[in-house]
Amino acid sequence: MHKIYSPDKNTWPALLQRPTQTVADIEGVVLDVFNEVKNQGDSAISAYTQKFDKVILDTIVVSAQEIDEAKNVVNSDLKEAIRLAKSNIEIFHSAQKTAKVSVETSNGVACWQEKRPIQKVGLYIPGGTAPLFSTILMLAVPATIAGCSEIVLCTPPNAEGKINPAILYTAELCGVTKIYKVGGIQAIAGMTFGTETIPQVYKIFGPGNQFVTVAKQLATKFGVAIDMPAGPSELLVVADDTADAAFIASDLLSQAEHGKDSQVLLVSTSKEMIELVEKEVDKQCASLPRKEIATAAIANSKLIYVENDEEALALINEYGPEHFIVCVADEDFYVDNITNAGSVFIGNYTPESAGDYASGTNHTLPTNGYAKQYSGVHLDSFMKAMTFQKISAVGIQQIGQAIELMAEAEGLQAHKNAVTLRLDSLK
């Protein structure tokens, strides 16, 4: 890992750059796939599945038989763990429900807001080097609580044309209505335009590699909403001498093993802690099954020493990490003052892995600095807030003249007339 000591603030933009390609670098590739899927439908999906996933499928639809077989393959201990995680996620997201907001803004003018579910949502579940069945929990559970009527899931098949059994078991457990063996750009395109087999959806959720991230952003140009630009995973830990170096190293590596384009950072007010963590990273990485991936990600990562907590916080808010772990004596300083982070983990016994799986919070979070303006997935991500109003005769007399004056000042005579006619009818 690169060690940087007391970096000048002018160097922060370069120091905090992510190891990702820009949208411009890969948008052309994504757009080509989109155009083919839009024009050729299932045949384009099949061609790209053969090209990228190295498999020819008779059908991309997951059958009921495949789901039943998956239930028998997943061992009972894993099923119990998945059910525990599902319960905690349900508890946390159910608590996010809000009641109807109703108020009389003026005498006779009633306004209220109610939430309605997004009817058709698409979930993208990565299934390459790591089959992320946990992401199904994070997306399908709140979608079900919200009341989405159609929950479509796309995930890439393996070389044998199969889907990881844990993905199928979890999808069925969480109420997914349709499952398709499609990955990558072509999956996002399929859900964006719809094909003979894949239904078009109104909003797409889920993480993915840089190509999936750009594909989701491109989907918005064709009238489909997305949760956020969620790309390669990242983690920032702030630590002082009260932290445990072994714990910190394990957290850094837990994100580094996601992919070669992941990034992890340690920001510390202790030079000794930086040295200890570096040694622990080397030690723990050596025994990881995904050592090659983690090592490549570590090459993109940094150990940064700063003089004090104030400077550390400023640097962290500038970075806007997806995951932010706080392991310092003065936890409250960071917890109270952090403004840009996807999800915050506090204390030596709160690993980022807890949020990934079973604590109850959502792990679908903004990356690449988007934590400065995006929230992570939550219950309202699957809902729309609709406003209503009902105005009585007394009410229109209360606010009618104000409407007339404002409409006339904007030069919108028909707007004014819509009120004037009603006021005249009450004279």
Phi/psi for 244 (5° steps) reads -105, 115
202 is in an annotated binding site: no
DSSP code of residue 199: P
Q: Are 217 and 229 in contact (CB under 8 A)?
A: yes
Q: Are 316 and 333 in contact (CB under 8 A)?
A: no
Alpha-carbon distance of 92 to 20, in angstroms, equals 32
Q: Are 170 and 67 in contact (CB under 8 A)?
A: no
389 is in an annotated binding site: no
65 is in an annotated binding site: no
124 is in an annotated binding site: yes
Q: Write the CA distances from 126 to 79, 118, 206, 213, 219, integer angstroms.
A: 20, 23, 8, 12, 18
Q: Which of 36, 93, 172, 323 is catalytic?
A: 323
378 is in an annotated binding site: no
Work out the number of other CB atoms within 10 angstroms of the CB of residue 135. Answer: 28
Q: Strand 120-124's sheet: what is its strand order?
A: 178-181, 150-155, 120-124, 203-205, 225-226
Q: Which of 36, 322, 352, 363 is catalytic?
A: 322
Whether residue 272 lies in the annotated active site: no
Q: Are 273 and 304 in contact (CB under 8 A)?
A: no
3-class SS at 328?
A: coil
93 is in an annotated binding site: no
Q: Which residues pair with 384 in a beta bridge?
A: 116
Q: Which amino acid is at 196?
A: E
Whether residue 323 lies in the annotated active site: yes
Buried b (16+ CB within 10 A) or exposed e, 258-291: bbbbbbbbbbbbbeebbebbbebbeebbeeeebe
69 is in an annotated binding site: no
DSSP code of residue 100: P
209 is in an annotated binding site: yes
Alpha-carbon distance of 183 to 172, in angstroms, equals 19
3-class SS at 106?
A: strand
Where is 401: in which H helix or E strand?
Answer: helix 393-409
Q: Are 279 and 299 in contact (CB under 8 A)?
A: no
Annotated binding site: 124, 186, 209, 233, 255, 258, 323, 356, 410, 415
Annotated binding site for substrate: 233, 255, 258, 323, 356, 410, 415
Annotated binding site for NAD(+): 124, 186, 209
Positions annotated as catalytic residues are 322-323
Annotated binding site for Zn(2+): 255, 258, 356, 415
